[in-house]
Amino acid sequence: MATGLATLTLDAAAGGLFGLIGTALGRVAGFFERKQSFEQERARWTHELRLHELNRRAKAQEAENELALAAQAGSWRGLEASILADAALGEASRWVVNTLRLVRPALTLMLWLITAYIFARTQDTGVIDACVFAATAATLWWFGDRAPRNGAGPRTMGGRSIVGPV
């Protein structure tokens, strides 16, 4: 009976020990599972972050493209208004039409002559810089919208062809 009690105690101790070892192994396995789960979650969130960043860049590019299109459309509307204003002159003598078309070039020449006069007369670099800036900006603004666009944009505006001389 003593050996039976010793065996029973030993069996109970061995069973408890194996139970503790099994629990410890389960905890260790659980630790590695959680670690793997966290790494997988981190990878998923990193991927989500990259997707959000790509979407943000795509939306920014789309907004930039829309702004460029709006600016181009505004430029074409300005050109159309200018062409239609020229066309609204109707029947006038050729001398009047040619004189009207010389307004921008004449104003530009006068502006640059005034700038040259100021450049020759003053020593103040601030005034010279402002005059050169104004003359350059005006010249590019006045003639920039009328520059050819290498085939870009409409060929007709308001039902009128803009291919020929205007």
In this predicted model, what pLDDT tens digit does every residue of 73-102 receive, in sequence order? Answer: 777 777 777 777 767 766 777 888 788 778
Among 17-26, 67-76, 111-120, 151-160, the least confident range: 151-160
Which residues on adjacent β-strands are paired with residue 156? 161
**Cα–Cα distance, 96 to 93 (Å, whole number):** 5
| pLDDT for residue 165 | 46
For residues 42-67, give the mean pLDDT.
92
Q: Work out whether strand 156-157 and strand 160-161 pair parallel, antiparallel, or are unpaired.
A: antiparallel
30 φ/ψ angles, rounded to the nearest 5 degrees: -60, -40
Backbone angles phi, psi at 127, to 5 degrees: -70, -45
Mean pLDDT, residues 56-77: 85
Q: Residue 162 pLDDT > 60, yes or no?
A: no
Q: How confident is the model at residue 14 (pLDDT cuts 50, 70, 90)?
A: confident
User: Is pLDDT at 139 greater than 50 in this prediction?
Assistant: yes
CB 60 within 8 A of CB 133: no
Mean pLDDT value of segment 2-31: 78
**pLDDT confidence bin for 154, thresholds 50/70/90:** very low
Establish how many alpha carbons lie within 13 A of residue 109's alpha carbon, considering only the half-sphere containing its beta carbon: 5
Split at pLDDT 50, 70, 90, the class of 113 is: very high
49: closest CA among 41, 38, 59, 61? Answer: 41
CA distance linking residue 162 with residue 166, whole number of Å:
7
Cβ atoms of 156 and 162 within 8 Å: the answer is yes
